[in-house]
Structure 1
Amino acid sequence: MKLFQIDNDSLSPISSNPFKLEKEIQTLIETNVNQLFELELVKSELIVQNFRLDSLCFDNDTNSFVIIEYKKGTSYSVIDQGYTYLSLLLNNKSDFILEYNETLGKNIKRDEVDWSQSRIIFISPKFSDYQKNSINFKNIPFELWEVMRYKNNILGLNKITTESDVDINSTITNEGGNSMVNQVSKEIIVYDENYHLTKSKNRPDWVVELYRELKERILNIGDGIELKIGKQTIGFKQNRIFTDVIIYNKGLGVMINMKKGQLKDDLNLTEDLSEKGHWGNGDYRIWLHSDEHLDYTLNLIKQSFQNQLT
């Protein structure tokens, strides 16, 4: 990716300042892992059996473990390493729970972790076309991020996106199938929009259309808004998640990610969930049973969007 400095109407290229060592990337990412990926660092250089995991993190939104691996070269297989590490995680759950509790001084229980949403993040200055193509499946539990450092202390991060509708399990035959991939795929699920839209066989068409209209309008609120799709929620984030949508047959539950007392709700249409257990982020929920209050809901969401910018 090329970057330029704008001076009036003239452009001056910003030179790259490549990382010399893999450890430089690791130190920078671990120091800022919450800001970059909304993750909590658990342990750096964790040894499990004969494997060294670069960064063990925890996603508090999904209650799941995330392993981050840093690379400088392009000769390794992300598929082989990714599935090996996920298999290691699933077969040694108690070890990861113990590390989490001892390092962070917490007391999470095994059944409080959503193992189905575990994933691997690979970070490298460059991935080969072969590596990029190897994760081009709709349900691969890996993410590839290219990182580039520039002059003037500028850092660039670019996520390699996939658009395939192919299920990775369809590429494995029963006779010669990869047992490790099969084992991991049975327990880990990569959730997408289609899962939420179709998990109920009786989902009314008007609910699907209402969600799509809401989604389009949320994405137009600002630049760089991304979806973070979990087991129960579809989150919308820029710096962090500012709203979550939960799809029901009766309509949409929209979570506004603001603390109690922060939201200006002139029509008093939101529920206070500050003292109730709930899915999604924030203390407020508004129901959409039609498009009647769609504009008003967007105004509430915009408040949360502006709040996460600060």
Structure 2
Amino acid sequence: MILLINQEKELEKLIDKAKFSEMGVWERTHMEEWIAKHPEILGEELLTITTEYADYDKTSKRLDILAIDREGKLVIIELKRDTAEKFVDLQAIHYAAFFSTHTFEDVVDIRAEFTNKSQEEADIEIREFITNDEFQDLDDQPRIILVANEFKEETLAAVLWLRDVGVDITCVKFEAYEVDEKIVVTPNIIVPLPEAKQFMIYREKKSKQSSEKRSTEDYHLRTVPDDIKDLYAKISQNVLNLDNKIRVKPKKWYIAFVSSVSNANFIYAEIYQKDIKIVLNLKKGELNDPECIAEDVSEKGHRGNGDYRITISPDHDLNYFMTLIKQAYEKYS
């Protein structure tokens, strides 16, 4: 119930809450659009990755909204316009299990398709949204947010149990009221209480900070396959062989290699699940690349300084790539 107060501060009327179905509100047409455009109404800052995702194997089910939070965790958002029935949490868990195997690159591809932008633009949008300095890649534990007009007692009991066993699941109640032919919606987090949520985020973040350090090569390599770790080791050794005084400087999004002469970063390595991308700190026109394998990124958003980027996979021969890297090294040495 809400109280409608007039300008004279008098109680004008009492308005009882109503069901979305009685107001002609639908999950996909209305609720999904509200939240996808303004996910902050769920009580936190989120970036929408996609809606109505249906690229599952052997099923026609659709995830309502996929988002990512400031910590760099995927968020599964499941909507029910009236009452969240007892199986809504299980449905959300199915979606979370599916996305638990997705890499950051997979999510970039999904966001790019959803927004009709390039992969490069989507990558930068997501990385700039994430404020967690320790983020490198997605973990295998997506969060879940259930949104409904009402929650059954057994659903809340299941949610509380899931939280006890380590599943990050939240319930947001959308209470609806009809006021002068308009709909007023008040979103409220009912599980967990906001104070408890902040405490858990702090505790989790503190634990991560004590166990991992972002500014190390090992941190950048911690989630990638062994063949990528081996590839990085070979590239790194070849680069350091150019000059035993070259310094390696891991940063938030890349690993820079620094000239001992000019103290300038001459390459920037970004490590992914399937390859390693290296930005060469050379201006457009400065690179001699007869095989034309370097990508011109002079007009694209990217990390690091330089107008050329090379992509190296485990099956590539490093010899030619090293001739390109050497040119960047020689410019600053």
User: If the length of structure 1 is used for normalisation, what is the TM-score?
Assistant: 0.48
TM-score by length of 2: 0.45
